[in-house]
Amino acid sequence: MPQPIDVGSILGGRYKVTGRILASAENDVILDGLDQVLNRPVSILVSAVDNSAHLTQSAREVATGARVSNVSILDLGVQDNSTYLIAARTTPADLLDLVVPTEPTDDVYQEPFFTDTLGTEIFGAARDAAPGGGAYVYDDDSPLTPANPLPKVRQEPAPTPPPTAAVTRSTQSGAAVVPPAAQKTPAKVTLWDDADYGFINDDHDEPAAEAETHRPGIFPAELREASDDYADEEVYEDDGNAPRISGRWLTGAIVSVLLIVALIFAVQHIGGLFDGSNQAGNTTSAPTGESTNAPTTEAPVEPKPVAPVVTDLTDITEYAPGVPNYGETYFPRLKDAIDGNTGTYWPTVEFSNAEFAGMTDSINLVAALAEESTISSVTINQLTGSGGQFNILTNSKPSLEGATKIGSGSFSAPEFTLTAAPGVKAQYVIINFTQLPNLAPFVTYPFGLKISEISIK
């Protein structure tokens, strides 16, 4: 059954089908293609309608690592009701393996990686079955009440404090003696008043001496006087961790000196420029009166270079006597090599060897320019070819007779650029292919040309 995806189709907006390799008995087709964005060859597998689901499943298994395969998958999509798979260049056998479904296997429990190692260290092997879904019950046979209970703790009453002696304060001459306070038994719970939270004396009616003695926030005078005998605490400064100011000053001084030197040099240099310009003005203004009578001669104006514009591409290949002109079949496609699109190309017939199988000596393409132009470079883009030999010539007429060779080359990459010598002018650029490159892939014979673009600057 013919496949809707064939040579010349564009898949995914970037992959172009360039050749057909083989088709299986189930109508699975393997094609050769080109990634037009990265300019690299790719392999394309178009599955049959019955194998579309198998191809999709296999691609997902390869992507997730569930299936081992040598295929590097680049894209997977559907076009014209056909499922296609884009992969890096690989063998047809590996691609056809993807349409074969994998055999279903019984679900085998795999121990998670974070418990597999722990289970192996403890039990010597990982579990081979999933743990049960029931709740885990911990059996504890120990009694709730301890066998030997602790003895009860009895609270003893607080002892009665002994009577304290009266506090006698020695004051200065003329001070009255303060009588001792009445002895009271301390209560278990004492309520604080406002005097306990600060040093503000709100008892204005009491005598000053009694209020100062009984206020809780005031230290006794003996302790306040004794505290003056202690030496002041020495404060040690950490000079080791202090920032080094001297280093900053030194750096600032060096930078300032450099800026001053640079400023002086700049002023001198600018002054020398102004002096030179003044001297030049004086020297040129002197002979002005003498040159007025001399005749003035204007310098010849050089013509501006003309940018080349390719208007037509012609095949002027001459075949051996008695050999038909095989290039006439592809004459309508010559415009594809100068349309500015590298996705289209002009091909030739395939030959059995690089010397054109004895049918001709060379294949010649003539690019006609709109007018005689200055040529600085010639770029040739081709598809799937390597090797070969060609010369690039210029002429004032579309013929090899009298043409001038400006360079030669060979294909080692999809793009070849020749930089011409300065001053090359011509109206016709001739590409003379003396040996054919090797095509990969090919349909019948491995030698031929696929020119996608010729640009002249």
Share of the chain above pLDDT 90, in %: 33
User: Mind listing the pLDDT tens digit for each residue in 301-338?
Assistant: 566 777 888 888 888 888 888 888 878 888 888 889 88
Residue 328 to residue 346: CA distance in whole angstroms: 12
In a domain, 80, yes or no: yes
The residue among 66, 99, 132 that closes a domain is: 99
In a domain, 283, yes or no: no
Number of domains present in the structure of the chain: 2
Residue 63 belongs to domain with CATH number: 3.30.200.20
Structure tokens at 10: 């564009």
168 or 199, higher pLDDT: 199
In a domain, 352, yes or no: yes
State the average pLDDT over residues 271-296.
50
106 or 454, higher pLDDT: 454
In a domain, 318, yes or no: yes
In a domain, 447, yes or no: yes
**Whole-number pLDDT of residue 2:** 45
Entry pTM? 0.38
Q: Whole-number mean pLDDT of the chain?
A: 76
Query: Is pLDDT at 230 greater than 80 in this prediction?
Result: no
Query: Is pLDDT at 84 greater than 70 in this prediction?
Result: yes
274 or 207, higher pLDDT: 274
Q: Give the domain extent around 399.
A: 310-456
Q: How confident is the model at residue 177 (pLDDT cuts 50, 70, 90)?
A: very low
Residue 32 to residue 17: CA distance in whole angstroms: 6
Residue 407 to residue 380: CA distance in whole angstroms: 13
Residue 419 to residue 407: CA distance in whole angstroms: 8
Residue 55 to residue 64: CA distance in whole angstroms: 14
User: Mind listing the pLDDT tens digit for each residue in 264-280?
Assistant: 988 888 876 666 555 54
Residue 325 to residue 435: CA distance in whole angstroms: 18
Query: Is pLDDT at 185 greater than 70 in this prediction?
Result: no
Residue 428 belongs to domain with CATH number: 2.60.120.260
Share of the chain above pLDDT 70, in %: 61
In a domain, 144, yes or no: no
State the average pLDDT over residues 58-67.
90
The residue among 40, 70, 99 that closes a domain is: 99
Q: Examine residue 149 and say whether the peptide bond preceding it is cis (omega within 30 degrees of 0).
A: no
Most confident option among 4-8, 128-132, 299-303? 4-8
Query: Is pLDDT at 245 greater than 50 in this prediction?
Result: yes
The residue among 59, 78, 99 that closes a domain is: 99
